Structure 1
Amino acid sequence: MEFSPFNHVVKLCIQGMNMEEEKKPEEAYKLFLQGWEEAANAHEKFLAAYYVSRHQKTVADKLRWLETTLEYALKVNDDTVKSAFPAIYLNIAKCHEDFGDREKSKHFSELAISLKHNPSDKGPFYHGTKADLQVGDVLTAGSHSNYKAELKMNHIYFTALLNGAGLAAALAKGDGRERVYIVEPTGIYENDPNLTDKKFPGNPTRSYRSEAPLKIIGEVTEWSRPGPDELQKFREKLKDNTGKIIN
């Protein structure tokens, strides 16, 4: 499953997170549980279980839901969920610590540490923009943010999700047409910390960044474009966002 903010279960989880921010945990829990009950595949089950787990009132119930989260994450086991494993294992370790089981707590803590490495995602990777570029050109860090014009970016950002790059192109500043380029990192890259383990566990949007240039190796012309109403909601959300960009 390619992560999409328009997915039904993802929407329920977003609504639940909004209820959490409004200090309405009971309403949030109902939405997360609805997401779990209506989830139709392993990825949706993984997401919903993750949020249900953090609303449990006992350590035993929390552990049970965390183990369910892990079960479905392992079934998916792709680059949308792999970066979530360290946090899941650490939470499971904390539950065993609360139970007084030091051996199991140590085991899951060590698993979490062992999985903290560079992203395993091999692409293909995409970059969405309104700039007219050619194969062989390079994209470099140092441009101003599309979302905070006063901020000069220290990294160049890209994603392994074609539709995600298409959304970025639609939201990019400029009057040119939306372009999605196939790009190749020329140096090391990392999970985008602005998205990884933030609202959603792991890196579901498969978003990355690098200080090294990205080389353009091709262009894609077809992807699923959001409708005008959906795009306007994104623009409004970005405009109202007061969060700090990790640069």
Structure 2
Amino acid sequence: MSASASVFSRSFFHGTRADLKPGSLIVVGHPSNFTEAEPLSWVYFSGTLDTAIWGAELAAGSGKERIYAVEPTGPIEDDPNLTDKKFPGNPTLSYRSRDPLRVIAEVTGWQGHPPERLQQMKDGVARSRAEGAEIID
């Protein structure tokens, strides 16, 4: 999917704990929320608010969970961590890019997942880590 086609056809979201402002750039080089691996060479984002909520809820750190509407500044591709391994066909509308994402606005008023569902997801991530699964490609 080319960035030019996707930018004009849908909204994109990024969940995090970083405090950003409109115009800020989300860039590669930050640690993963899911592994102890080297800093990531991709930035990840989604075309669904629900997937971005998971990103915010699972993000490392103690800051406030935040979701931003973002726009890619370069080419994007399907996120193979989800689309190839868990959800063929990309129903989560999960993407990645080596180029920065520009923050358009903060999304407010969203509702997180129920505590028991969030704990199930955290337990699953911890289990995958303990088993040495390659969570991030």
Higher helix residue share: 1
Indicate conservation of the 8 Å contact 1:163/1:223, yes or no: no
TM-score, scaled to structure 2: 0.88
Counterpart residue type for residue 115 of structure 2 = P
TM-score, scaled to structure 1: 0.50
Indicate conservation of the 8 Å contact 2:34/2:136, yes or no: no
Decide which of 140, 143, 165 is 2:27's aligned counterpart.
140
Q: Does 1:214 align with 2:98?
A: no
CA distance in 2, matches of 1:214, 1:146: 18
CA distance in 2, matches of 1:245, 1:181: 23
1:207-231 residue CA offsets vs partner (Å, 9 max, x unmatched): 0000000000101112231011110
CA distance in 2, matches of 1:200, 1:211: 22
Higher strand residue share: 2
Q: Does 1:184 align with 2:71?
A: yes
Decide which of 119, 133, 137 is 1:243's aligned counterpart.
133
Query: Percent of counterpart pairs with the same letter?
Result: 45
CA distance in 2, matches of 1:146, 1:244: 13
Report the CA distance between 1:171 and its aligned residue. 0.7
CA distance in 1, matches of 2:53, 2:46: 10
Report the CA distance between 1:123 and its aligned residue. 2.3
Gaps of 5+ in 2: none
Match of 1:91 in 2: none
Aligned residues: 131
Q: 1:132 to 1:124 in 2, by over 3 A?
A: same
CA distance in 1, matches of 2:86, 2:42: 21
Structure 1 ranges of 4+ moved more than 6 A: none
Q: Does 1:170 align with 2:57?
A: yes
Indicate conservation of the 8 Å contact 2:69/2:103, yes or no: yes
Counterpart residue type for residue 232 of structure 1 = Q
1:67-103 residue CA offsets vs partner (Å, 9 max, x unmatched): xxxxxxxxxxxxxxxxxxxxxxxxxxxxxxxxxxxxx
Q: 1:123 to 1:183 in 2, by over 3 A?
A: same
CA distance in 2, matches of 1:192, 1:218: 23
Report the CA distance between 1:152 and its aligned residue. 1.4
Counterpart residue type for residue 134 of structure 2 = K
Matches within 5 A, 1:12-161: 118=2, 121=6, 122-161=9-48
1:31-84 residue CA offsets vs partner (Å, 9 max, x unmatched): xxxxxxxxxxxxxxxxxxxxxxxxxxxxxxxxxxxxxxxxxxxxxxxxxxxxxx
Q: Does 1:196 align with 2:83?
A: yes
Gaps of 5+ in 1: 1-116
Match of 1:205 in 2: 92
Which SS does the other structure have where 1:219 is aligned?
strand
Instruction: With a CA cutoff of 8 Å and minimum separation of 6, indicate the structure with the bigger relative contact order.
Output: 2
